[in-house]
Chain A
Amino acid sequence: MASVARLVDSRVLIPLRLLGLTALAFVAVGAFLLLFGRNPIEAYGVIFKGAFGSGYGLSEVVVRAIPLMLCAVATAIPARMGLLNVGGEGQLHGGAMAATWGALTLGALPRGALLPGLVILGLLGGAAAAFVPAFLRWAAGVNETISTLLLNYVIVLLVEYMVRGPWKDPMSYNWPFTPEFPESARLSFYWGTRIHAGLWFALVAITLFYLALRRTRWGYEIRVIGDNPDAAARAGIPLGRYVLLTMCIGGALAGLAGMAEVCAIQSRLRPGISTGFGYTGFLVSWLALHHPLGIVVMALLLGVLSVGGDMVQISLGLPYATVNIIMALIFFVVLGGRFRKSRSG
């Protein structure tokens, strides 16, 4: 009996357990749909056909996965040392705003200089958004989950203000958005799809995350803190410095996602550039147990659900929220499935 338990707990079987529990979530949502008189098989069919039924669908999955991957890493890096960053949404918008400023004020620069500049601005904007809660945590012990959640609302409202005020497109009557970005500020698309250079950002970020965790001293020290903060402190690892570092780097990456959204997909700043990428990214990270490779897989899975969500809206008239319910339930089963020793509670 004990040996079976050990087998079940072994690292090899974790992905299988995850899969099994995810299937459970789908069954639960299926029952929910039945309750409302909808056909779950039909709905699931539409969801997966939407994603896999066409080249365009597949490419859209990737497009959705890009900001999810970046926002997931924004959550994963602090999570590795035990911090819960739910501020991806705000940090994404922070980066978007910084990039918008750059596109609107420095638009005259040639593309070769402007784009890298916008990347840097995106990183800085996101990092700035993350710095506030990080600082509050470091200096006053304010719980970062609550402060990042609150700040999300603030930053999104700031965007609403900016696109209706100082950055409003003078030629747009009363629509709330900025002028279109100049050609030099736009990321190009590949292969006739909407997949943009943000993909490289995301993949590079995840690769660096992986390498940093496994191969660098910083990743090592972060892992020690996450495993046993007491031992880390006794070994002279500076916990406070890492609070600031992990949050700001994470925020920067979410900010990069924001930059990519406004510079590639939207070509301008407007409310609604993000359909909850920050929160979904947070979800992706947790479902992946904060592992870099898992993040890629989970981001793609949730990308499938996201595209599927649009499809069920169009074809079946089901609300997009249907896939949100699926995602939330998967989150529940992963949390309840005891995949790692719980940190608190």
Chain B
Amino acid sequence: MLAMLQSVLGGGIRAGTPILYATLGEVISERAGVVNLGVEGGILVGACAGFITTAHTQNPMLGIAAAALAGGLAGLVHAFMVVTLRSNQIASGLALMFLCLGVTSFVGRPYVAVKINAVPQASVPGLSRLPLVGTVLFTHDVLVYGAYLLAPLIWLLLFHTKWGLALRAVGERPAVAYASGLPTSLIQYGAVVSGGVLSGIAGAHLSLAYARSWVEGMSNGRGFIAVALVIFATWHPLRSVVGAVVFGAVFALQLQIQARGVALSPYFLDMTPYLLTLVGLLLMGRARRHAMPEGLRAVFEGVT
């Protein structure tokens, strides 16, 4: 029982890492007033670019860098469509997702069965020997630590620096931000590209650490879950951690239940993350709407 708990929690933290990166990235983007449904695509290009780079260089760190770059490029496209061309945010995000799906399927085909040097596990010396907590918290790879350290860092940046203030102002009332002399378009570009970079890193963890392989479409909706999680976490970086871990735990639980041969269809288990997200959105209802950056209201609440 204890072992199972350890596995679920530890696995949860690990499985939640890509979701956390993607969610944090989307928090930044949405706080600046831009919704990016193309996060799903960002994860894919990150996973693919990271995998291919690692396969060729045998260096997973280079892979992570390539993934970040690829994700950033995807974010740049979305920023261009939405900030400069003023296209419909949701449709553009979906278009980006389709494009990334197509491109990565094309480019990644030769790499499907390839094996790579995965991101190495990096146990924290000393701390990893602590009973229970040790294995759960301190025996992961660099990217995992990165994600959970990034969350408070982003919180600090968003709420305690002038940059964060400016970014949030753009997401609340761009007219006021503009009147205060802020370069609103530039800020939005920066936010969306940053979000893209983080979604790319999410993909890197997926293909280089978690699954250690490349499969077409391997993100499997994690990007959309991340977008829903942002709402659920009321656009707050620290609350996103909770959401990501919960979802990771669900993923990990699936594996555990399957491994123990419980007579639950794996397909029902696979449904759980998505159903959970839906239920979460429903329960959240109109209550959390007040926490939404004002600039997003038009995007999310067009009609009724």
Asked whether A and B interact, the reply is: yes
Quick check: B99 and A225 within 8 Å, CB to CB?
Answer: no
B residues in contact with A145, CB < 8 Å: 37, 90, 94
Q: Is the CB of A150 within 8 A of B86?
A: no
Q: How far is the CB of B98 from chain A (nearest CB, A)?
A: 4
Given A86-B94, A136-B278, A324-B105, A344:B302 Cβ within 8 A: yes
Bound together, the chains give a CA A82 to CA B300 distance in angstroms of 11
- Partner among A137, A154, A328, A345 whose Cβ is within 8 Å of the Cβ of B87: A345
On whether the beta carbons of B95 and A335 are closer than 8 Å, the reply is: yes
Closest chain-A Cβ to B260's Cβ sits at a distance in Å of 19
Nearest CB on A from B187, distance (A) = 15
Q: Is the CB of A328 within 8 A of B98?
A: yes
Which B residues lie within 8 Å of A160 (CB)? 267
Whether A113 sits at the interface, judged by CB under 8 Å, is no
Which residues on A sit within 8 Å (CB–CB) of B251? none
Residues of B within 8 A of A229 (CB): 302-304
A133 to B241 Cα, complex, angstroms: 27
The yes or no answer to B291 lying at the interface (CB within 8 A) is no
In the bound complex, do residue A332 and residue B82 qualify as a contact, i.e. CB atoms below 8 Å apart?
Answer: no
A243 contacts the other chain (CB 8 A):
yes
Question: Looking at the complex, which one of B81, B103, B105, B216 makes contact with A336 (CB distance below 8 Å)?
Answer: B81
Q: Give chain A interface residues in 296-329, CB to chain B under 8 Å.
A: 318-322, 324-325, 327-329
Q: Which of B127-135, B163-171, B198-206, B268-276 is the interface stretch?
A: B268-276
Asked if A140 and B282 sit within 8 Å, CB to CB, the answer is yes
Q: Which of B69-122 contact A (CB under 8 A)?
A: 81-82, 85-92, 94-96, 98-99, 101-103, 105-107, 109
- In the complex, which of the residues A143, A318, A322 contacts B300, with contact meaning CB atoms closer than 8 Å? A143
Q: Known contacts A225-B303, A239-B304, A344-B90; can you find 9 more A-B pairs with CB under 8 A?
A: A137-B304, A145-B37, A153-B220, A164-B265, A243-B304, A282-B94, A286-B91, A327-B98, A345-B92
Interface size class of A (residues with CB under 8 A): 35 or more
| Interchain residue pairs A-B with the least CB separation, the first 4 | A345-B89, A324-B102, A321-B105, A328-B99
Judged by a CB distance under 8 angstroms, whether B214 is at the interface is no
A203 interfacial contact with B, CB 8 Å: no
Assess whether B274 is in contact with A153, with CB atoms less than 8 Å apart: yes
Kindly supply a per-residue 1/0 record for chain A positions 22-40, scoring 1 wherever the CB is within 8 Å of any chain B CB and 0 otherwise.
0000000000100010000
CA of A165 to CA of B268 in the docked complex: distance in angstroms? 11
How many CB-defined contacts (below 8 Å) exist between A and B?
162
Residues of B within 8 A of A332 (CB): 81, 92, 95-96, 99
Question: Which residues in B have their C-beta under 8 angstroms from that of A138?
Answer: 304
Seen from chain B, the residues whose Cβ lies within 8 Å of a Cβ on chain A are: 34-35, 37, 81-82, 85-92, 94-96, 98-99, 101-103, 105-107, 109, 216, 220-221, 224-225, 227-228, 231, 265, 267-268, 270-271, 274-275, 277-278, 281-282, 284-286, 289, 298-304
Q: Are A84 and B90 in contact (CB under 8 A)?
A: yes
Q: In the assembled complex, which residues on chain B have CB atoms less than 8 Å from the CB atom of A164?
A: 265, 267
B106-A321 in contact (CB<8A)? yes
A157 at the interface (CB under 8 A from B): yes
A147 adjacent to B303 (CB under 8 Å): no
Shortest A241–chain B CB gap in Å is: 10
Bound complex: CA A239 to CA B304 (Å): 7
| Interface members, chain A 112-170 (any B CB < 8 Å) | 132, 136-138, 140-143, 145-147, 149-151, 153-154, 157-158, 160-161, 164-165
Of B82, B103, B281, B298, the contact of A146 (CB 8 Å cutoff): B281
Given A165-B265, A345-B34, check contact A84 B91 (CB 8 Å): yes
B106 touches A331 (CB 8 A): no
**What's the nearest-Cβ distance from chain B to residue A239, in Å?**
5
CA distance A86 to B90 in the complex (A): 11
CA distance A143 to B34 in the complex (A): 15
Contacting pair A345 B86 (CB below 8 A)? yes
**Cβ B95 vs Cβ A319 within 8 A:** no
* C-alpha gap A328/B284 in the complex (Å): 33
A342 and B221 contacting across the interface, CB-CB below 8 Å: no
Residues in B with CB closer than 8 Å to A328 are 95, 98-99, 101-102
* Nearest chain A residue, comparing its CB with the CB of B289: A141
- Could you tell me if B82 and A345 are in contact, using CB atoms closer than 8 angstroms? yes
Q: Which of A81, A136, A165, A331 sits near B303, CB closer than 8 Å?
A: A81
A343/B302 contact (C-beta < 8 A), A149-B221, A324-B98, A331-B95 known? yes
Q: Is A202 an interface residue (CB 8 A)?
A: no
CA distance A23 to B274 in the complex (A): 38
Pick from B94, B216, B282: contact of A136, CB below 8 A. B282
Q: How far is the CA of A342 from the CA of B34 in the complex (A)?
A: 14
Residue contact A329 to B99, C-beta cutoff 8 Å: yes
State which residues 156-206 of A face B: CB under 8 Å: 157-158, 160-161, 164-165
Complex contacts, A282 vs chain B, CB 8 Å: 94
Known: A84-B90, A136-B282, A143-B300. A336 touches B99 (CB 8 A): no
Residue on B nearest A146 in the bound complex, by CB: B228
Beta-carbon contacts under 8 Å, A75-130 to B: 81-84, 86
Q: Which residues of B contact A243 (CB under 8 A)?
A: 303-304
Contact of B102 among A137, A143, A225, A321 (CB under 8 A): A321
Q: Shortest Cβ distance from A31 into chain B, in angstroms? A: 13
Complex contacts, B102 vs chain A, CB 8 Å: 321-322, 324-325, 327-328
Bound CA span A59–B224, Å: 36
Residues of chain B within 8 A (CB-CB) of A36 are 106-107
The residue among B88, B109, B228, B268 with the most chain A CB atoms within 10 A of its own CB is B88
